[in-house]
Chain A
Amino acid sequence: MALLELHNVSKGFGEGKYRTEVLKNINLSMEEGEFLAIVGFTGSGKTTLIKMISGLLSPDEGEILFRGNPVTGTSHERGVVFQNYSLLPWFTVYENVALAVNERYPDWTKETKDIHTRKYIEMVNLTPALNKRPAELSGGMRQRVSVARALAMNPEMLLMDEPLSALDALTRGTLQQEIINIWTKDKRTALLITNDVDEGILMADRIIPLTTGPNATLGPEFRIDIERPRDKTELNDNEEYKKTRNDIIEYLMDMGAEVKTKKTTNYRLPELKPIMPGKTFRKRKEEDKLKYF
C-alpha cells in the first residue's frame, strides 16, 4: 500500500466572481522511502499542495490518504520545512528545535530530550550557533535549523516547500547535499517542492511537473535512474541526466508557451507599436527562464 495517496484533489480560493481554482484533479501516490520532487512555475499552487498534504489546508474535493487514513489535520507523522523558514525569532536555535522535541516526545526525560535536540542540530552542522537567534543567522543557516526542527520530530514523511529557493547557489549546493545525506541515512519518505529542475534531478527518484495555474494539475512522471550518490559536477556529463533534464524542461516550456498563447486571447492590448528595448527585455526574460527550468 502506498504511504501517501491523493485522489482527485482540488482546491480553490475566494468566493463567487473572485474564485480561482488553484489545483484541479491532483492524483498522486508515493511509496515508503521514496524521494519525490514536484517542479513547477511560481504561483502554480505548489505551496497549496504541500499545505494540504501536511494538513494545514483541507481539499475542496477529493481525498488525501496517509497510510490509508484520510488526512484531517496536521500530524507529527509529517514534518514540514517551510519556504520562508518560519523560525520563531524570539527563540535560539536550540530552543526552536527543542520546542518541536518537547511536543513530539513529552514523556522523555530532560536529558534524553537534550541529547536528541543536540543530535539533530549537530546533524545540520549548527552546533556552533546553538545559542544564536534566527536574526543572527544567514539564510542558509536558518533553513538548516528549519530542517533540523522537522527531522527532530522523526516524521515518517518529510515535506519540503521550496526549502532552498531563497538561497544563493553555493549554499544551495551544500544544503542539497546535506539533505540527501540525511535522507540516505534513514531513508525517510521525502517530498520536495522546487522550481529548479536540476535540484529535482540531483535529489529525487521521481520528478512530477505541476502545470501552471489556475487549475494546475500534475503532469507525467519522469523517473530519474541515476546511481546514487550523485555528484553535481559529474552529473553534467551524464547522458541520462541530460536527456531527463531536456525532457522535463521541454515539457515545462511547452506548457509555458501554451499558457502564453491562451493568455493573449484573453487580453486585448491597446494598439501600440512595441519599441525595441522592450523587445530585447522580453527576450532576455525568456532566456532567464530557460536557465531556471
Chain B
Amino acid sequence: MKAIALKLCSVTGMKWGIPFVKLFSGEEVLEQLKEIWGTVGIPLIAIVTFLLIWHFGAKQIDTSLGQVPGPAMVWEQTKALWAEHVDERIKADEFYARQDARNAAKLAKNPNANIRVVDYTGKPTYIDQIFTSLKTVFMGFLIASLIALPIGIICGLSKKIMQALNPMIQVFKPVSPLAWLPIVTMIVSAVYVTNDGWLEKSFIISAITVSLCSLWATLINTALGVSSVNEDYINVAKVLQLSPTKKTFKIVLPATLPLIFTGLRISLGVGWMVLIAAEMLAQNPGLGKFVWDEFQNGSSQSLARIMVAVFTVGIIGFILDRIMVELQKLVSFDKKTIA
C-alpha cells in the first residue's frame, strides 16, 4: 500500500506527496515534517504571496474591458466555463433524446419511413476546445516525429548528410510559427481542396505549423545521439560483425533512445507552446481560437476567461511533460539520468 502510494507520487511528478505518505505510515515524524515544510510549505507561501500581489495589483489597472481580473474572478470564470460545458451537454442530450423519440414515432407509424439523424450543432464548449487543441498538438507532434526521427537517424549515421542538412536546420529552427502560418495556409489551401470535411483545413494548417516548429528539437537530438554512441558499443558491433540494419536497431537506436526521448519531450513542449498562436490565426477551434474570440468579444469577463486559458495551457503543458518523462524512463536503460 505504502509502496504503491510512493510510486504514484513519483510517477505523477508530485514528489511532495512522498513525505505525507511516509508521515502517515509513522516514519520519522520530525524528519517528514521538515520535508513537508520544504516541499509544500515554502511553495505554498510563494503561491499565496503571488495571489495576493495579483489580487491587489489587478485592482490598480483599469482597461477598456474593465478592471484587470483578480484571482477570485478567474476562479469564478473557471466555474462558469465548466457550468456552460455541463449545460451544453445537457442540451445536446436533450436534442438527441427528442430526435430519437421523433424517429421512433415515425418508424412506429411506417417501418419504411425515411429517418434523418442530425448531429447537434451547438457551439463547442471550453472542454471541447481543450480536446481539439490536444488533438491538434498530437497530430502536429506525430507529423514532426515521423519527419524528424528518420532524418535525424540518417544525419547521425552519415557525416556527409549531416553536413549537407545542417545549414538548413540551423536556419529554419529559429523561425516563429507566425511566420510559417501564412505560407502553410496558402499551400494547404492550394493542395488540400477536397471538401468532404474529414479533416478541417484549419486543423491541418495548425497541425503542420506545430510540426514545423517542433520537429527541430527531435531532429537535432536524434542526430546528436546517433552520432555520439559510445565507442565501446560500436566496437562490439564491429567485433560481432553486425549488419548495418542490425547495428542500427540493436545497438545504435537503443543507445540513442534516451536522447531521442529528450528531443521528443522538448518537441512536444514547443509544439504545445506554439499551438496557441497557430490556432489563433488559423481559427482552429481550440484554445487559441478561444483566446482570440474572447479578446474580440471584449466583454467584462473576457480577460478573466483568457486567464483561465493561460492556466489551462500551463497545467496541460506540465502534464504532457510528465507523460513524456515517464515514457522516457520506460524506454531508457539508464534510469538515473532523467530528471
Contact = CB atoms under 8 A, between A and B. Distances in A.
A82 B333 CA distance: 21
B238 A88 contact: no
Contacts of A80: 235, 239
Contacts of A74: 238-239, 241
Given A82-B232, A88-B254, A56 B239 contact: yes
Nearest to A76: B241
Interface residues of A, number: 21
Interface string B232-253: 1101101111100010001100
B333 A86 contact: no
Given A99-B250, A100-B240, A135-B334, A88 B233 contact: yes
Contacts, number: 45
Contacts of B250: 88, 99
B256 to A, nearest CB: 11
A56 B238 contact: yes
Contacts of B334: 89, 135
A84 interface: yes
Contact of B333 (A54, A84, A90): A90
B241 A86 contact: no
Interface string B255-280: 10100000000000000000000000
Contacts of A76: 241
Contacts of B236: 82, 86, 88
A135 B333 contact: yes
Nearest to A155: B239
Contacts of A103: 240-242, 246
Contacts of A133: 333
A134 B242 CA distance: 21
A56 B250 CA distance: 19
Contact of B232 (A79, A84, A135): A84
Interface string A98-125: 0110010000000000000000000000
Nearest to B242: A103
A267 B255 CA distance: 43
B240 A88 contact: no
B235 A99 contact: no
A74 B234 CA distance: 12
A74 B246 CA distance: 16
Contacts of A153: 240
A75 interface: yes
Interface string A145-178: 0000000010000000000000000000000000
Contacts of B239: 54, 56, 74, 79-80
Interface in A70-88: 73-76, 79-80, 82, 84, 86, 88
A103 B239 CA distance: 10
Contacts of B235: 56, 80, 82, 86
A88 B254 CA distance: 9
B307 to A, nearest CB: 45
Given A56-B235, A135-B333, A88 B241 contact: no
Nearest to B331: A90
B232 A89 contact: no
A103 B328 CA distance: 30
A40 B130 CA distance: 68
A79 B238 CA distance: 11
Given A56-B235, A135-B333, A88 B242 contact: no
Interface string B301-328: 0000000000000000000000000000
A99 B251 CA distance: 11
Contacts of A75: 241
A226 to B, nearest CB: 32
Nearest to A87: B236
A268 to B, nearest CB: 37
A86 B242 contact: no
Interface in A33-58: 54-56
A100 B235 CA distance: 13
B238 A86 contact: no
B151 to A, nearest CB: 24
Contacts of B233: 86, 88
Nearest to B240: A103
Contacts of A79: 239
13 contacts: A54-B239, A56-B235, A86-B236, A88-B233, A88-B236, A88-B251, A90-B257, A99-B240, A99-B242, A99-B250, A100-B240, A103-B240, A133-B333
Given A99-B242, A103-B242, A135-B334, 13 more contacts: A56-B239, A73-B238, A74-B241, A79-B239, A80-B239, A86-B232, A88-B233, A90-B333, A99-B240, A100-B240, A103-B241, A135-B333, A153-B240
Closest CB pairs A-B (n = 7): A86-B232, A90-B254, A90-B333, A89-B333, A103-B240, A74-B238, A80-B239
